[in-house]
Chain A
Amino acid sequence: MKPFTRLDGLVAPLDRANVDTDAIIPKQFLKSIKRSGFGPYAFDEWRYLDHGEPGMDCSARPLNPDFVLNQTRYQGASVLLARENFGCGSSREHAPWALEDYGFRAILAPSFADIFFNNCFKNGVLPIVLKAEIVDKLFREAAGAEGYKLTVDLAAQTVTTPSGEAFAFDVDPERKHRLLNGLDDISLTLKFTDQIQAYEARRKGEAPWLFA
Chain B
Amino acid sequence: MSARTLFDKLWDSHVVNVEPDGTALLYIDRQLVHEVTSPQAFEGMKMNGRKPWRLASLLATPDHNIPTADRDKGIADPVSRTQVETLDANCAEFGITEFGMNDPRQGIVHVIGPEQGFTQPGMTIVCGDSHTSTHGAFGALAFGIGTSEVEHVLATQCLWQKKAKTMQVRVEGELKFGVTAKDIALAVIGRIGTAGGTGYAVEFAGSAIRGLSMEGRMTLCNMAIEAGARAGMVAVDEKTVEYMRGRPYAPKGEQFEQAAAWWRSLVSDAGAVFDAVEELDAAAIKPQVTWGTSPEMVVPVDGRVPDPAHAPNAVKKSDWERALAYMGLAANTPIEQINVDKVFIGSCTNSRIEDLREAAKVASWAVAQNRKVAGNVKLAMVVPGSGLVKAQAEAEGLDKLFTAAGFEWRDPGCSMCLAMNADRLEPGERCASTSNRNFEGRQGQGGRTHLVSPAMAAAAAVFGHFVDIRVLAHEVMQ
Contacts and interface: CB of A to CB of B under 8 A. Distances in A.
Given A27-B418, A30-B36, A35-B43, A210 B48 contact: no
Q: Which of B39, B82, B147 has the most CB of A within 10 A?
A: B147
Contacts of B79: 31-32, 54-55
Interface in B414-462: 418-420, 437, 439-442, 445
A200 B37 CA distance: 27
14 contacts: A16-B319, A18-B294, A22-B442, A33-B86, A34-B40, A45-B441, A55-B79, A90-B130, A91-B130, A96-B146, A114-B198, A118-B149, A186-B44, A196-B16
Nearest to B83: A31
A17 to B, nearest CB: 6
B275 interface: no
A173 interface: yes
Closest 8 CB pairs of A and B: A93-B146, A122-B148, A209-B251, A33-B39, A119-B146, A91-B144, A85-B195, A91-B130
Interface string B19-59: 11101010101000000110110011000101001101000
B192 to A, nearest CB: 12
A189 B230 contact: no
Interface stretch (B2-10, B150-158, B233-241, B391-399): B150-158
A156 interface: no
Contacts of B198: 85, 111-114
Given A34-B39, A93-B128, 7 more contacts: A31-B79, A92-B146, A93-B147, A122-B146, A189-B155, A208-B255, A210-B120
Contacts of B290: none
B463 interface: no
A123 interface: yes
A115 interface: yes
Interface of A: 16-18, 20, 22-23, 26-28, 30-35, 45, 51, 54-55, 83-85, 88-93, 96, 111-115, 118-119, 122-123, 172-175, 185-186, 189-190, 192, 195-196, 199-200, 203, 207-212
A210 B123 contact: yes
B261 to A, nearest CB: 11
A194 B216 CA distance: 41
B367 interface: no
A119 B148 contact: yes
Contacts of B146: 91-93, 96, 115, 118-119, 122
Contacts of B86: 33
A199 B16 contact: yes
Contacts of B256: 209
Contact of A172 (B23, B37, B123, B158): B23
A26 B325 CA distance: 20
Interface of B: 16-17, 19-21, 23, 25, 27, 29, 36-37, 39-40, 43-44, 48, 50, 53-54, 56, 64-65, 77, 79-80, 82-83, 86, 120, 122-123, 128-130, 132, 143-149, 151-152, 155-158, 160, 162, 194-195, 198-199, 228, 230, 249, 251, 255-256, 258-259, 262, 294, 315, 318-319, 322, 418-420, 437, 439-442, 445
Contacts of B44: 186
Nearest to B127: A91
A88 B251 CA distance: 37
B322 A16 contact: yes
Question: B44, B86, B148, B440: which has the most chain A beta carbons within 10 Å?
Answer: B148
A55 B251 CA distance: 47
Contact of A88 (B23, B29, B143, B228): B228
A35 B107 CA distance: 26
A93 B21 CA distance: 25
A192 B148 contact: no
A26 B251 contact: no
B92 to A, nearest CB: 16
Given A26-B441, A33-B83, A45-B440, A203 B27 contact: yes
A209 B255 contact: yes
B444 to A, nearest CB: 9
Name, among A28, A186, A190, the residue most crowded by chain B CB atoms within 10 Å (CB to CB). A186
Nearest to B13: A203
Contacts of B19: 174
Nearest to A209: B251
B16 A22 contact: no
B171 to A, nearest CB: 23
Contacts of B258: 209
Given A113-B198, A210-B123, A18 B319 contact: yes
A195 B16 contact: yes
A203 to B, nearest CB: 7
B48 A186 contact: yes
B195 A111 contact: yes
Contacts of A84: 195, 315
A207 B439 contact: no
A189 B25 contact: yes
Nearest to B151: A186
Contacts of B322: 16
A209 B56 CA distance: 11
B158 A192 contact: yes
Given A114-B228, A186-B155, A91 B23 contact: no
B83 A211 contact: no
A207 B441 contact: no
Nearest to B80: A31
A83 B82 CA distance: 37
Contacts of B259: 207, 209
B156 A211 contact: no
Contacts of A185: 148, 152, 160
A22 B437 contact: yes
Contact of A91 (B20, B83, B129): B129
B25 A192 contact: yes
Contact of A33 (B40, B160, B249, B419): B40
A89 B152 contact: no
Contacts of A30: 36-37, 64, 420
A27 B437 CA distance: 13
B157 to A, nearest CB: 6
Contacts of A17: 315, 319
A111 B149 CA distance: 22
A39 B332 CA distance: 40
